[in-house]
A and B are shown apart, each in its own frame.
Chain A
């Protein structure tokens, strides 16, 4: 466990550092907004998919000729699994987007008003974003490893 004392917890930013932080904040806010928009679009697409699943499947059958078994599986419960995966993806995008937007907003507030509490809030959100990204990267790596074994193992 790390311990922090008054002597070893003071640091300062020079003008160049503040400019870099401001620029990072602006880009983070932009990426955050895009994440939130993509998440909203995905959520909207999921609602549309669930509402028009039967008619959509008819269109897909005509286009690709999916087997009867596959359609039966999708209509029995597969569509809910797909909807769950899409909603989960939308939630991940939303959380990432909000954390990045907050990081950007608080860092810009700090640059403007030099209020220390906004800098703390800014880094709190950055820490959460990086931690969340790490968890997502771990899940992705594990799934990728499993798929490698399943796909090439056979």
Chain B
């Protein structure tokens, strides 16, 4: 069953520009990861701070950032291919990568909110135990 929706010039322009800026966003994100790596190397050379915790936090943040950047880049690539070839499959893939991008951010927020709730719970229990 096919659902064909003609989309006008404005939508084409919006999608095209979204794809263009998504590509730039992914590139600047990759550059930021490179810069963070340089900071890590300089930090280790200068022997500033706890190396193990610094490397651990760098790996975690880099993995998350790379997943986001790769999804943005794939969204851009497939959107452009879809606009050029009019193949529905490319749009489906583009939206799948966009969905993955938002899922990653959403899951991070859920984890953060969970940790915040846990912290508040422990804090409240400690306060109650003290009084």
Binding site for B on A (CB under 8 A): 2, 4, 6, 8-18, 20-21, 23-24, 27-28, 30-31, 34, 100, 114, 116, 119-120, 123-124, 126-127, 130-131, 133-134, 137-138, 140-141, 144-145, 148, 152
Q: Which residue of A lies closest to B25 (CB)?
A: A134
Chain A residues near B72 (CB-CB < 8 A): 130
Return A147 CB to nearest CB of chain B, in Å.
8
Please name 6 pairs of A and B residues whose Cβ atoms are closer than 8 Å in the assembled complex, sorted by A.
Answer: A8-B12, A13-B91, A23-B99, A30-B102, A34-B106, A116-B11
Q: 1/0 per position for B15-30, CB-CB distance to A under 8 A?
A: 1111001101100110
Contact A116–B14 (Cβ < 8 Å) = no
Contact B99–A17 (Cβ < 8 Å) = no
Q: Which residue of A lies closest to B95 (CB)?
A: A20
Contact A4–B12 (Cβ < 8 Å) = yes
8 A Cβ contacts from B75-97 to A: 82-83, 86, 88-89, 91-92, 95-96
With A4-B12, A12-B7 as given contacts, are A144 and B32 in contact (CB-CB < 8 Å)? yes
Q: Which residue of A lies closest to B109 (CB)?
A: A34
Binding site for A on B (CB under 8 A): 1-18, 21-22, 24-25, 28-29, 31-32, 35-36, 38-39, 42-43, 46, 72, 82-83, 86, 88-89, 91-92, 95-96, 98-99, 102-103, 105-106, 109, 113
Chain A residues near B109 (CB-CB < 8 A): 30-31, 34
Chain B residues near A24 (CB-CB < 8 A): 95, 98-99, 102
Return A120 CB to nearest CB of chain B, in Å.
5
Contact A148–B3 (Cβ < 8 Å) = no
Contact A140–B32 (Cβ < 8 Å) = yes
Q: How far is the CA of A16 from the CA of B95 in the complex (A)?
A: 10
Q: How far is the CA of A39 from the CA of B45 in the complex (A)?
A: 38
Chain A residues near B29 (CB-CB < 8 A): 137
Chain B residues near A21 (CB-CB < 8 A): 95, 98
